[in-house]
Amino acid sequence: MPVSLVLEQLLNGLQFGLMLFLLSAGLTLVLGMMDVVNLAQGSLYMLGAYFAATLAAASGSFWAGLAGAVLATALVALLLEVSVLRRVYGADHLTQVLATFALILVFNEAVRAIWGPQALLLSVPPELARPVTILPGLSYSAYRLTVIGAGVVLAVGMFLFIHRTRVGMWVRAGASNRRMAQAMGVPIRRVFTGVFVTGAALSAVAGALLGPIFAVQVGMGEDVLILAFVAIVIGGIGSVKGSLVGSLLVGVVDTAGRAFLPSVFGLLFAPEVASNLGPTVASVLIYLLMAVVLFVRPQGLFPVHG
């Protein structure tokens, strides 16, 4: 197997992991701070992609579509937080899972009613629709490289915000012990609304950026949502660092597994066994990873709660 192919798949994994992180960062903070399971995060990601596709088609510019999608999704998230999520803060996880599961049904059908059942087309901006040579013999999509760059910038920005600012300190305090933080005067409700809306905006960024790579269609949020959950459970609920590590692990392991396991098994087993076993094991690999992590460290890799 050529080295360039391995590098390419690793870059794909990194790119997917970073986008997953944009989703899981919001998810883990919502979970850690308010103990709310929000299955509808995937719907916000889907909305981001749909808004981006529509606005990009209307304005003729991918970047205008991206900016508009972030604003529109943040607005939807604000309405969602005020109308539904506030009512399930104190409730048990079962209630939250079901309330947000209901939101998924509602969002999926609403999107289908508004945009129709066909997948939308969101094309790569023309200035990035070409390969770049990053190493001799290795050329890589300029668009995917931009996505990686955007993911790194947003991740670094988030870390600086959370570890270097006062509001970031409130967020960390809230995630580690909500009641204590509240007693010390942190306006936890307002901080939380901000965190939720920011998380939604980041999901929209991920949806819009991944739109040209995957299809923009109803149900796109669910698959990625489950992967984001796997990522935060591996990383430890409430920890942004954990969600970054978890997301990158999931992205790389999933992409690399799908790309390489079939040929690795080809070396070990008979061809007909390998061609069946490879894809099967590759598709369950991250869930296996999660089960092993939870078995060894039930609180995830970076536990937050003392």
Q: Report the C-alpha gap between 70 and 52 in whole angstroms.
A: 8
Question: Does position 296 bind another protein by CB under 8 A?
Answer: no
Q: What is the DSSP letter of 135?
A: E
Question: Does position 82 bind another protein by CB under 8 A?
Answer: no
Which range binds another protein by CB under 8 A, 10-18, 60-68, 101-109, 258-266? 101-109
Q: Which is nearer to another protein, 94 or 268 (CB)?
A: 94
Question: Does position 244 bind another protein by CB under 8 A?
Answer: no
Q: Report the C-alpha gap between 101 and 98 in whole angstroms.
A: 5
Question: Does position 298 bind another protein by CB under 8 A?
Answer: yes
Give the one residue of 34, 56, 104, 173 binding another protein; rule: CB under 8 A.
104
Give the one residue of 37, 53, 195, 245 binding another protein; rule: CB under 8 A.
37
Nearest distance from C-beta of residue 7 to another protein, angstroms: 27
Nearest distance from C-beta of residue 230 to another protein, angstroms: 6
User: Is residue 125 within 8 Å of 62, Cβ to Cβ?
Assistant: yes
Question: Does position 95 bind another protein by CB under 8 A?
Answer: yes
Amino acid at 291: A
Which range binds another protein by CB under 8 A, 98-106, 186-194, 204-212, 257-265? 98-106
User: Is residue 76 within 8 Å of 110, Cβ to Cβ?
Assistant: no
Give the one residue of 61, 63, 75, 109 binding another protein; rule: CB under 8 A.
109
Nearest distance from C-beta of residue 19 to another protein, angstroms: 19
Give the one residue of 3, 5, 105, 156 binding another protein; rule: CB under 8 A.
105
Question: Does position 24 bind another protein by CB under 8 A?
Answer: no
Interaction with another protein in 149-188: which residues (CB under 8 A)? none
Question: Does position 97 bind another protein by CB under 8 A?
Answer: yes
In terms of DSSP H, where are the helices of the chain? Answer: 3-34, 41-59, 62-83, 93-115, 142-164, 166-176, 178-183, 188-210, 220-235, 240-268, 271-296
Complete DSSP assignment for 192-236: HHHHHHHHHHHHHHHHHHHTTTS-B-TTHHHHHHHHHHHHHHHH-
Which range binds another protein by CB under 8 A, 68-76, 188-196, 260-268, 294-302? 294-302
User: Is residue 64 within 8 Å of 55, Cβ to Cβ?
Assistant: yes
Looking at the DSSP bridge assignments, the partners of residue 124 are: none
Question: Does position 91 bind another protein by CB under 8 A?
Answer: yes
Rounded alpha-carbon distances, angstroms, from residue 36 to 31, 93, 141: 5, 7, 38
Of 2, 26, 12, 14, the closest CA to residue 204 belongs to 26
Q: Which is nearer to another protein, 63 or 101 (CB)?
A: 101
Q: Which is nearer to another protein, 123 or 283 (CB)?
A: 283
Rounded alpha-carbon distances, angstroms, from residue 295 to 44, 165, 243, 252, 291: 31, 35, 18, 21, 6
Question: Does position 120 bind another protein by CB under 8 A?
Answer: no
Kindly list the residues in this chain that would bind another protein in the complex (CB under 8 A): 31, 37, 84, 87-88, 91, 93-95, 97-99, 101-106, 108-110, 112-113, 222, 226, 229-230, 233, 237, 276, 279-280, 283-284, 287-288, 290-291, 294-295, 298-299
